[in-house]
Every structure is written in C-alpha cells, then in structure tokens.
Structure 1
C-alpha cells in the first residue's frame, strides 16, 4: 500500500511538472511582438539617454567623433607645427553637436517600433544578437538622417564648430607644404558618426536583454527572451 501511495504521488508530481512546463514554454505571437517592442523601446531610451548628456560622446572612446579619415593629414600636420589647439576645439565642438542631436532619435525610434508586425518580431527573435537593432536601423536611418542634419548643423553653429572647422582648414590650406586642399562636409560627417553611436548602444542594450536574464526587467521580457532556454 505504501508503494502504491508513493507511485501515485510521483505520478501526480510529474503531471504537475508537465503542466507547469507547458505553461512556461507556451508563447503567443502577441507576446513576441510585445516583448520585442518593449526591448527596443528600452534600448532606444537607454542609448539616447546615455549619449545626449554632456560628454556622452566626447568622453566615450567607442563613439567619440574624431577628425574624419580624409582629414587625418590635416590633424597630423597642425599638431606637428604646434597648432593642435585648433583641432582640439573642432573635435570637442563636433561631439557637443552629436550630443545635442542624439535626443532627437527617440520619437523616431518609437514611431518605427509601433509599426512592428508579427513577421518582423518572429524574424527578430530568431535572428542574431543585433537583429532588433538592424530592424530599427533599416526602418529609421533615412528619417533619422533628415532629422539629425538640421539639428547637427544648428548645434555646430551654436558651439562654434563651424568656426573652428573653418579655422582648421584655413590654417592647413595656407601652410606652404599643403598640396591638396581638404574641406569635407562637416554636417554630413558628424551626422553619420552620431547615428553610428546611437545604433552601437542600441545593439549593446539588445545584447544585454538577449543574453543576461538580469536585464529582462519586465515579465514579458523574461518570457519572450527566456523562451526555449
């Protein structure tokens, strides 16, 4: 009789475990969409929040806006002749412009996230660690560029970047050793670097949610990103 009781109890526990397992491993398309939207919203908010503060770009080696590659010779030449202060002012001003513009990305991201479909969400969930970021990049890059350019341009003027940039190239182009005149599009360059920085940090936030259970701060994130693991 005792053996029968133990067997019955074991079967009951096993049945309860199967029921519990079934509950935790079932996920709907609606939940997938909701979880992915929430992950992107958190990522976008955290990324823009980190970069839009003073020194968000300037003090961060990963995203700091430096002189463009085509201007490397300009920078090196000016530093060699003791005129590095012109370059330093230009670099600081470019980063301040990027910090000013970063906050503009948030409402554009939210609008793109709202339009996510079930097919989009399932593809993202099954994709690489940055699949959600790449989705957002594809949906928003053109709009972000259009939104960033006037802000970057105004910010560059506000922080005297345009002035410092003009001074850098005026000084360089007037040096007797200068053979090729250089003056790349400052607004386009800083806009591109600012967007790269924003997407870099959104990808970082996405990676945390995908790989670190502690970063899944809501029930739906825990369910969607913990599914099958």
Structure 2
C-alpha cells in the first residue's frame, strides 16, 4: 500500500489529471478476488445458459416460424416467387414453402445442439475481462467470430438432412416447378440449404445473445454463485 501511495505522489509532480488516472487504472485492483480464469468460466456458463434456456426453444414446433427475432424469411431472389404465386392464387403453397424452411431449421438445431455445447466448452477467451466489461452481447459476438465457420461446416449437412426429413425438398421442387412454369417469369434455382444454414446459425446466436443480455442486465437471472460473482464487476 505504501508503494502505491508513493507512486501516486510522485505522479502528481509531472502528470496531468488524465495521465494520473491512467496510472491509477493500471495499478493492481484489490478486493475483487476474481481471476481471469473465473471470468472465462463465468462467460462460458452464461453462454451455456443461453443454449439451455433460449436455443432449446428453437427446437420446438414453430420455434423459428413463430419467433419474430429469428423467423426465416425468403431470400431476396425468392421474394418475387412468393409474390407471384400469391398473385395467381397459390398463397397456400407459398405459405407451406416458407414454413418448411423454418421446420428444417427447427429440426436441425435440435440435432446440432451438442455441437454448440462443445464449441462453448472449448472456446478460449483471449481477454475475458474485456469481454465481461463489453457490450450486452460481447460474449456471444466472441463465440460467433470464433466458431461460425467451423459450425457452418458441421451444421450444413444437418440442415440438408433436415430438409429431406421435413419434406422441404419435395415442397420446394414443386413450388419452383410451378413458378418456373408460369409465363413471363425468370427461372430460379436457389441454394436453399446454404441459405437456411446461415439463417439457422444466426438464429441460434441471436437467442444466446438474448440470454446473455438478461444475465448482464437482470440480477435475478444470475442463478449461480459464479454468475453473481463475476457479473457484479460490470454492474
């Protein structure tokens, strides 16, 4: 303690107030008793809670389809397909086409949840304290940047399989065939597997971020001793 006081007194003789504050900030902080390892463990726990409490909702029927935060809409090149089919009285077919895209995502997330759990378990936070003190979705953004490419490669075949399981392939083949058969329309053949894979991943990260924000902003959402301990630092 004497050493710290001496440093501060010497600093007063040659530093402006802003520079003095920088010195203070760099001094060891006493009383927190929280290590960087504990912070990293707490961030992993928060992300796991996002999977358990929020991502699990996506696996239920209408988990994507009736959730405005993550509902998968048609890609831009297919919006004209949707409009044209509705204009010619095929609105029910268009609705079914949209629904099965979301059904495929719901099915795939259920199968792929262990992938996300493993990703969180193995994630290495390069600067856990900065993430803790960051934005309301800082840990989720870190997870996204660290895992998106690898998870896409694992998730894509799951989505492809889910398309077949929920009948999306057959429905969309019929839908596109009907559209391409209309006069004066430009034929389309989109890669829906790639599109839904990215949309499903975005939906998962979105829901994890929802839970992270809950934990950061609502003390009642910190349901373990570790969460209460580390997130007190950012209050």
Q: Aligning the two structures, in what range does the TM-score lie when normalised by the shorter sequence?
A: 0.7 to 0.9
Partner of 1:69: 76
Asked whether the equivalents of residues 132 and 234 of structure 2 are also in contact (C-alpha less than 8 Å), the reply is: no
Partner of 2:129: 122
CA distance in 2, matches of 1:158, 1:30: 42
Residue-pair matches, total: 207
Quick one: structure 1 residues 120 and 108, their matched pair in 2 at CA, closer, same or farther if it must change by over 3 Å? Answer: farther
Partner of 2:198: 192
- Structure 2: gaps of 5 or more residues: 1-28
User: How far has the Cα of 1:118 moved from its partner?
Assistant: 5.8
Partner of 1:154: 161
Asked whether the equivalents of residues 123 and 146 of structure 2 are also in contact (C-alpha less than 8 Å), the reply is: no
- Structure 1: gaps of 5 or more residues: 1-21
Q: Give the secondary structure class of the aligned counterpart of 2:174.
A: helix
CA distance in 1, matches of 2:91, 2:138: 41
Q: Does 1:177 align with 2:184?
A: yes
Q: Does 1:141 align with 2:158?
A: no
Partner of 1:207: 213
Asked whether the equivalents of residues 52 and 99 of structure 1 are also in contact (C-alpha less than 8 Å), the reply is: yes
The Cα offsets for residues 181-200 of structure 1, whole Å up to 9 and x where unpaired, read as: 11210111111111111111
Asked whether the equivalents of residues 29 and 118 of structure 1 are also in contact (C-alpha less than 8 Å), the reply is: no
User: How far has the Cα of 1:220 moved from its partner?
Assistant: 0.9
CA distance in 2, matches of 1:149, 1:88: 24
Q: Does 1:57 align with 2:64?
A: yes
CA distance in 1, matches of 2:85, 2:169: 18
Greater Cα shift, 56-65 or 194-203: 56-65
Quick one: structure 1 residues 142 and 160, their matched pair in 2 at CA, closer, same or farther if it must change by over 3 Å? Answer: same
CA distance in 1, matches of 2:30, 2:224: 18
Partner of 2:87: 80
CA distance in 2, matches of 1:182, 1:94: 17
Q: Given the two structures, how large is their TM-score scaled by the length of structure 2?
A: 0.81
RMSD: 1.9
Q: Give the secondary structure class of the aligned counterpart of 1:176.
A: coil
Asked whether the equivalents of residues 39 and 209 of structure 1 are also in contact (C-alpha less than 8 Å), the reply is: yes
Greater Cα shift, 211-220 or 25-34: 25-34
User: How far has the Cα of 1:139 moved from its partner?
Assistant: 1.9
The Cα offsets for residues 139-176 of structure 1, whole Å up to 9 and x where unpaired, read as: 22122212221111111112211111111111111111
Quick one: structure 1 residues 107 and 24, their matched pair in 2 at CA, closer, same or farther if it must change by over 3 Å? Answer: farther
The Cα offsets for residues 66-93 of structure 1, whole Å up to 9 and x where unpaired, read as: 2211111111010010011221111111
Q: Does 1:168 align with 2:168?
A: no
Q: Does 1:91 align with 2:94?
A: no
Quick one: structure 1 residues 189 and 33, their matched pair in 2 at CA, closer, same or farther if it must change by over 3 Å? Answer: same
Asked whether the equivalents of residues 75 and 87 of structure 1 are also in contact (C-alpha less than 8 Å), the reply is: yes
